[in-house]
Every structure is written in structure tokens, then in C-alpha cells.
Amino acid sequence: MKLGTQSQIAIGTSDLEASALVYDKIGFKKLAHGTHPNPFIQYTDESTIILVNQDNMEYMGFNYFSKNMDPIVSELKQRGTQFLQQTNRPDGGFFQGIFSTPDGVLINLVNFDAKDMYQPEKNLRYLTEEEIVDSTFYPNKKNWNFW
């Protein structure tokens, strides 16, 4: 089941500055940063988007965006998905909701048109098998000594 038209990895941290040092050191590109509703930085390595969020909770999960999340949420509820949190739009339609997998990964669905969101250049869907296996293809190899 497709959960949205765009997605990003979401990481909750208690120390945004410390997290930022890691992503900066390994060569990720900073896409955005701000303080509303919480301090955050959005990064990419050109294959995925990562949102590091300092909201005084530590978690890892995925954010999915779609301009019409209502049918997706309806299907998930039919399949027995229990939402931990849900907010609705003023017209009563779904706006945002979070559910968890048994292993604690949080899945956040957001009713938002993602057509103008950043799209990574090297999305793994479009890589050849040779590019996936060849580690020289990835842009941050020079920083692998960090690990």
C-alpha cells in the first residue's frame, strides 16, 4: 500500500546541535532549518530526505505526505491500524496522524500537497543495480572514515 506521494525519515533528538554535527560531517546537504513548531533541520544525501527535529522526544520514523490522505487513512483503519494521535482539518477531514509499528517505528501521515517539496536527485528507485552496488557512486564516500 502506498502511504503518500513524498516521504522523509523523521528523527527526534534532544540535542539538535549534536545531531547536526554528524550530518554535516558526513557531507549531507542542508535543505531547510527553522524553529517552528520546534527547532529542526532537513537534510539530504540525494537519495533520501531526513528531518531532524528537536521536540524533546527521541524517536525514529517516517513522514508521508499526500494532498488527499483521507482514502489512505480510511484503508489503514479498515485494516485495523490504531492511530496514537490524529488531528482533523476544520472541515472534518483528516489532517495529520501517527501510528506505530510493533518495533516502535512511528509512521506520520500528513495531508499536504508535496508537489513543491524537494526531490532527491539520486532516488534509489532510479538507480541501476551496478550503481547501488558500487559504493563510489555515493557522494559522501570521502567522509566514511568518520564511522
Distance, CA of 112 to CA of 99 (rounded, Å)? 18
Neighbours of 43 (CB within 10 A): 25
Collapsing DSSP to helix, strand or coil, 110 comes out as: strand
* pLDDT for the residue numbered 145: 47
User: What is the reported pLDDT for 7?
Assistant: 93
Q: What is the pLDDT of residue 144?
A: 44
Domains and CATH numbers, the chain: 6-142 (3.10.180.10)
Strand segments (E) across the chain: 6-12, 29-34, 40-44, 49-53, 59-66, 85-88, 94-100, 106-111
CA pair distance 63, 46, nearest whole angstrom: 17
Question: Would you call 122 helix, strand, or coil by DSSP?
Answer: coil
pTM for the structure as a whole: 0.77
Dihedrals phi, psi of 121, to nearest 5 degrees: -70, -35
Q: What pLDDT is attached to residue 81?
A: 96
Asked if residue 106 lies in contact with residue 97, where contact means CB atoms within 8 angstroms, the answer is no
pLDDT in tens, the chain (147 residues): 999 999 999 999 999 999 999 999 999 999 999 998 899 999 998 888 999 999 888 899 999 999 999 999 999 999 999 999 999 989 888 899 999 999 999 999 999 998 888 888 755 555 566 665 565 555 544 444 444
Region of 56 (left: φ > 0; alpha: ψ -120 to 50; beta: rest) is left
Question: What is the reported pLDDT for 79?
Answer: 96
